[in-house]
Structure 1
Amino acid sequence: MSPSSPHPGSDRARLATKLREIRAATGQSGNQFAKSLGWPQSRVSKIETAAQFPTGEDVTQWLAAAGAATEEGAVAELLRRARVESVSFRQEFRKSGGATTQQRSVLELERQASRVATFQPALLPGLVQTPGFMRELLALPSGPASTGGASDTDVEHMVAVRIERQAQLYEPGKAMPLVIGEAALWIRIGDLETQLGQLDRLRSLVGLRTVDLRIMPFSTPMPIAPLHGFRIHDRDLVIVETFAGEHLIMDPDEVAAYEHMFDRLQAEALAGDEAAQLIQSVSRRLTNDY
């Protein structure tokens, strides 16, 4: 599984094209080149079409098999730049379909994956948000209207697709584990009624096998620095969202590092009844403090 086909001018596409050109210069077909590497032919094809991101070792073997040591510097630079692909919301929203198409691309990536693991230190993820919470969140100055130029109609369409995405939480065989920092339970988005409704929704998901919802309480030392949230798709892709867009991380070594951090978070976070009790405690305290 990989992100949608890269733009022809992207570094990921340039890397794939460069490797294809290096292989073609040997006079070997993709199948012949794969045999010289000891790889399945499909692996060569996927790398050449940017459907699979090569590791540093893959590139080293590729250049050695092609006798292209002189290309090492150029390919290494392309690989370095292609490891993280940046997507601008403003640019994406200008395309046909605008914000709705961008949100559907998120849905499609999730559908392709059998497992999407999410960590959010201070914000409830879209997969568990109520419609009321979504609308309040998207209306903030950090939302798509300000950062991407989305219209009110675009925002309503985004809400509809986010709701559609949530059907995956109940699909047999799907895994959507979530680790959320306790701060996300407290940070107010909208009025008290919206926040309490959101916490009720969250509590209803505790114990759902596909979700494996866990909460990192303030009382437990963080096992990693909670610099930002992230999503891991099938151990192949990490997505880090910012105010202005997303960073797509495809380098296998870096994805493995994020997977290790998620495992550490899961091991320390509260699950099951303990998670439900913490959510209920926050709801009570919010009500009493109002």
Structure 2
Amino acid sequence: MTLEPEELGHSKADLAETIKKLRKRAGRTQTWLALRCNMSQTKVSNIEGAKLTPSLVDVELIMRALDAPTDVVAQVVALARRANTEWQDIWSQRRTGLEKKQNELAGFEKSSTEFRYFLLSMVTGLLATHEYVRASLAGIPGDQSKAIAKKLERQAVLYDTAKRFTFILTEQAVRWPYTADPAMAMQIDRLISISRLPNVRIGVIPLDGYMPCAPLNTFTVYDNRIATVETSTGAMVFRDYRDVSAYLAEFATYEGYSLFGDEAREKMTEWATRFRT
């Protein structure tokens, strides 16, 4: 199924209305449907009221319970797929202000306890120095001081020991010369320092190792609920468990080829020394 960007994230109400109509057409109550699908009546009510976006599994259970025709099932599953996927283009983010995006990320961080970051080409804001953050936004027109401040403010979440973080960075992400050499050395020093926090693991994938698969995108997984995937023109937000599970599996593969702990710190110290000399 092709997902058109303008349709993504805008099918929640249509999905809710379609499910409600199908249930009523079948002559069933919310209570009956909830029992057949092993859900609470409140959950069914929230789905039909567009307060809760059902997963594809939820939708398949509902369609089976209502004995919906095959063609109708395909249409409803397509709606569910679009409702669980959101496209955020960079031009809309810039129009509304980049600090709004930072507030959204802060919301993800507040509601999640386990974080997995795969960083393909650059350091993420949570790990970045002030100089690196400023350099990463330098090419965007306008005053970015609020976005910079919000990015740096979000870093406090790393010190919440109730949360667990795993960052995997390629050698390219660590060493890409986003700033002048002295500032890059300081950025790598920060990675080494943060890697010593008890709830933070920082892994690196050196280019001189064996890597039988090729990553295509930077991505983040929040718990097992949400995966965000970055592209050069925006970000995709996936909430369906199949998409999230796929990124969890991809992350686990890269984790197996990463250096952690003292091995990672030794490698990063070597890279920082190159910038200093």
The TM-score range, normalised by the shorter chain, is 0.7 to 0.9
User: How far apart are 1:258 and its partner, in Å?
Assistant: 0.8
Structure 1 CA distance for aligned equivalents of residues 182 and 45 of structure 2: 53
Aligned to 1:106: 105
**Secondary structure of 1:270's partner?**
coil
Contact 1:11 1:78 in 2 (8 A): yes
Amino acid at match of 2:109: E
**Residues 162 and 30 of structure 1: CA distance in aligned 2, closer, same or farther (over 3 Å):** farther
Deviation at 1:59, TM superposition (A): 2.1
Residue 3 (structure 2) aligns with: none
Give the C-alpha shift of residue 261 in structure 1: 1.1
Deviation at 1:130, TM superposition (A): 0.7
**What residue in structure 2 maps to residue 19 of structure 1?**
19
Residue 3 of structure 1 corresponds to: none
Instruction: Return the match for 2:229 from 237, 240, 252.
Output: 240
CA shift, 1:115, in A, is 1.3
> Partners in 1 of 2:32 and 2:19 — Cα distance?
15
Aligned-pair CA distance for 1:178: 0.5
Q: Cα distance, 1:18 vs. partner?
A: 2.3
Contact 2:87/2:235 (<8 A) preserved: yes
Say yes or no: does 1:205 pair with 2:194.
yes
Question: Please, which of 151, 158, 162 is the counterpart of residue 147 of structure 2?
Answer: 158
1:66 maps to which residue?
Answer: 66
C-alpha distance after superposition, 1:208-267 (max 9, x if no partner): 232211111112222532111100011111101123221012221121111011112112
1:117-136 aligned at under 5 Å gives the runs 117-136=116-135
Other structure's SS at 2:162 match:
coil
TM-score by length of 1: 0.84
Change (3 A) 1:127 1:66: same
Q: How does 1:1-150 map to 2 (within 5 A)?
A: 10-48=10-48, 49=50, 51-55=52-56, 57-69=57-69, 71-95=72-96, 98-140=97-139, 144-145=140-141
Looking at structure 2, the residues matched to 42 and 268 of structure 1 have their Cα atoms a distance apart, in angstroms, of: 44
CA distance in 2 between counterparts of 1:175 and 1:13 reads 35
Q: Provide the secondary structure at the position in 1 that maps to 2:200.
A: coil
Q: Per-residue deviation at 1:42?
A: 4.4
Normalised to the residue count of structure 2, the TM-score between the two structures is 0.88
Deviation at 1:68, TM superposition (A): 2.7
Pick one of 265, 284, 289 that aligns with 2:273.
Answer: 284
Match of 2:217 in 1: 228
Structure 1 unpaired stretches of 5+: 1-6, 146-150
- Once the two structures are superposed, what CA deviation does each residue of 1:79-128 show, in whole Å capped at 9, x if it has no partner? 34345321123223434xx2212210111112111112100122111110
Corresponding letter in the other structure for 1:22? L
CA displacement at 1:19 relative to structure 2: 2.2
Amino acid at match of 1:130: T
Shift >6 Å, 4+ stretches: none
2:138 partner letter: A
Counterpart amino acid of 2:55? P
Shift in alpha-carbon separation, 1:177–1:260, aligned structure 2, 3 A: same
Q: How many equivalent residue pairs?
A: 269
Q: Deviations over 1:121-171 (max 9, x none)?
A: 22111110011100011113xxx43xxxxx21xx11111111111111110
**Relative to structure 1, is the Cα distance of residues 219 and 51 closer, same or farther in structure 2, using a 3 angstrom cutoff?**
farther
SS in 2 for 1:176: strand
Residue of structure 2 in register with 1:148 after alignment: none
Q: Indicate the larger mover: 234-243 or 66-75.
A: 66-75
The residue identity in structure 1 corresponding to 2:274 is R
Contact 1:224 1:261 in 2 (8 A): no
Contact 1:11 1:81 in 2 (8 A): yes
Residue 265 of structure 1 aligns to a residue in which SS?
helix
Matched, 1:273 2:254: no
Is residue 180 from structure 1 mapped to residue 208 from structure 2 by the alignment?
Answer: no
